[in-house]
Amino acid sequence: MGSIGKYTIPSAIKGVRVSQLLQIEDERGAVLHMLRPGDDPVVVGEIYFSIINPGRVKAWKLHKHMTQRLAVPAGKVRLVLFDGRADSASRAKVEEIILGRPHAYYLAIIPPGIWYGLQNISAEPALIANCADREHDPAEVDELPLASDTIPYAWKEALP
Amino acid sequence: MGSIGKYTIPSAIKGVRVSQLLQIEDERGAVLHMLRPGDDPVVVGEIYFSIINPGRVKAWKLHKHMTQRLAVPAGKVRLVLFDGRADSASRAKVEEIILGRPHAYYLAIIPPGIWYGLQNISAEPALIANCADREHDPAEVDELPLASDTIPYAWKEALP
C-alpha cells in the first residue's frame, strides 16, 4: 500500500536520464505512471511493448534520431548502454541499469547515438514499454550482433 | 512466430472502437504495437498502467471528457461497458469485451460518457495500458460502487 515518490538516478552517459516513476498500490493491484504532460520531451511518436522471455537478450540497437523512453511494469531487465557518439564526453562508456518493480520502476530516457540492449533477468516474461518520440523507421536504426568488436560487453544469454 | 493482422471488432455501444493490434513474435519474445501516428485520435495526454490482481475488479468509472485507449499486453481481463449517455442510440446498453493476448490483443477506445469496469480473469497479474487523450483530472471522473442501482450488471469478484 502507499506510493513511491519521484527522484532521479545518476547516469554515467551524457544525456541519459533515469527517474523514479510513481506507483500507487492498493489491495486490487496498482496504478503505475509512465508519461505525463509535464514531462520533457512530451512528443509521442509511437507506443509499443517489447516482451522478453526469461534469460533472453535483445541487443544491440542504436537509433540515429529516435529518443527511447522505457519503463518496465512487469518482470525485471538489465539495460546495457554503450555511448557510440564520437563527440560525447562519455564516449565509449558502458553502463548497466536494472529496471523493474517495485524498487526500480524507472523512466529511462535514451537519446539517439547510444547502443542499447536488454536482458530479462527475472523468471517471468518481462514487459518493456517504449513511448518513442517518433514513428519506427528501419532506416534510422543500426544493429549489431550480441558479440561484436565495437562494444566491450559480454552478454551471458541464459537459454531455457 | 509470425504476426497477427489488424481488423475491427463490432461493438454494441456507439463510439466504442475495438481493433486488433499487431503482434510480432520470435523466440526471444514479442513486439506488441499499441499506438502509432496513423491512429485516430493521436493526441496523447497521459500514459499509465493499471495492474489488477487475479479475480479482482476495478469498477465503476465514467469520464466526462477523457477518451480511454486501452490495451492488455499481460494477463486477461473482462472489460464491461454501460452506456450512460442520455442522448445515445445505445443508451443503457451493457457490453462485455475480453482483452488479452494472443487472441484478443486489442486497442479498445472508450469515448466519454461510458461507465466502465475491469476484472482480471486470468491467474497472473493483468496489466492494462491506457494512452488517454488528456491528463488525469479527478474533477472529470464519476465513480460508482461495484453494486449500484444505476448499472444492471453483477460483478462476481473472486477474492483470493
Question: What is chain A written as a DSSP string?
Answer: -EEE---EE--SSTT-EEEEPPEEEETTEEEEEEE-TTSSS----EEEEEEE-TT-EEEEEEESSPPEEEEEEESEEEEEEEE--TT-TTTT-EEEEEEETTTB-EEEEE-TTEEEEEEE-SSS-EEEEEEESS---GGGEEE--SS-TTS---------
The pLDDT, as a whole number, for residue A4 is: 46
Neighbours of A88 (CB within 10 A): 16
Query: pLDDT digit string (tens) for A89-98?
Result: 999 999 999 9
The pLDDT, as a whole number, for residue A72 is: 98
Triad A140, A116, B29: Cα angle to 5°: 90
Beta-carbon contacts of A10 under 8 Å, excluding residues fewer than 6 positions away, are: A18
Strand pairing of A94-100 and A76-83? antiparallel
Report, as an integer, the average pLDDT of A11-30. 95
Q: Which residues of B touch A131 (CB under 8 A)?
A: 47
Distance from CA of B88 to the nearest CA of A (A): 31
Distance from CA of B47 to the nearest CA of A (A): 5
Q: pTM here?
A: 0.93
Helix (H) or strand (E) holding B26: strand B23-26
Beta-carbon contacts of B49 under 8 Å, excluding residues fewer than 6 positions away, are: A31, A32, A34, A73, A129, B127, B128, B129, B130
Q: Rounded CA gap, B130 and B49, in Å?
A: 6
Q: Rounded CA gap, A46 and A53, in Å?
A: 23
State ipTM: 0.92
Query: pLDDT digit string (tens) for A43-91?
Result: 788 899 999 999 999 999 999 999 999 999 999 999 999 999 999 999 9
The pLDDT, as a whole number, for residue B2 is: 41
Q: Answer yes or no: do B47 and A131 touch at CB < 8 A.
A: yes
Q: Which residues of B touch A73 (CB under 8 A)?
A: 49, 51, 127
Query: pLDDT digit string (tens) for A117-142?
Result: 999 999 999 999 999 988 889 999 99
Q: Rounded CA gap, A78 and A70, in Å?
A: 12
Q: Rounded CA gap, B140 and A47, in Å?
A: 25
Task: Give the nearest partner residue to B56 out of A29, A36, A47, using CB atoms.
Answer: A29
pLDDT in tens, chain B (160 residues): 344 446 788 899 999 999 999 999 999 999 999 998 766 556 788 899 999 999 999 999 999 999 999 999 999 999 999 999 999 999 999 999 999 999 999 999 999 999 999 999 999 999 999 999 888 899 999 999 999 999 999 999 877 6
Q: Which residues of A touch B29 (CB under 8 A)?
A: 50-53, 56, 58, 120, 125-126
Q: Is the pLDDT of residue A39 over 80?
A: no
Q: Does A45 touch chain B (CB under 8 A)?
A: yes
Q: Does A121 touch chain B (CB under 8 A)?
A: no
Give the residue on A whose Cα is nearest the Cα of B136.
Answer: A36
Q: Which of B49, B53, B124 best tests the A interface by mutation, with the highest count of A CBs <10 A?
A: B49
Q: Does A43 touch chain B (CB under 8 A)?
A: no
Neighbours of B18 (CB within 10 A): 20
What would the grid cell of residue B101 be?
493476448
Q: Which amino acid is at B112?
A: P
Q: Does A145 touch chain B (CB under 8 A)?
A: no
> Using an 8 Å Cβ cutoff, are A35 and B47 in contact?
yes
Give the phi and the psi of residue B30 in degrees, each rounded to 5: -160, 160
Distance from CA of A32 to the nearest CA of B (A): 5
Q: Which residues of A touch B129 (CB under 8 A)?
A: 47, 49, 129
The pLDDT, as a whole number, for residue A23 is: 96
Work out the pLDDT band at A37, boundaries 50, 70, 90.
Answer: confident
Q: Rounded CA gap, A90 and A97, in Å?
A: 16
Question: What dihedral do alpha carbons B104, B106, B109, B113 form, nearest 10°?
Answer: 20
Give the phi and the psi of residue A32 in degrees, each rounded to 5: -120, 120
Q: Does A140 touch chain B (CB under 8 A)?
A: no
Q: Which residues of A touch B30 (CB under 8 A)?
A: 49-51
Q: Does A51 touch chain B (CB under 8 A)?
A: yes
Q: Closest by alpha carbon to B54, among B118, B115, B121?
A: B121
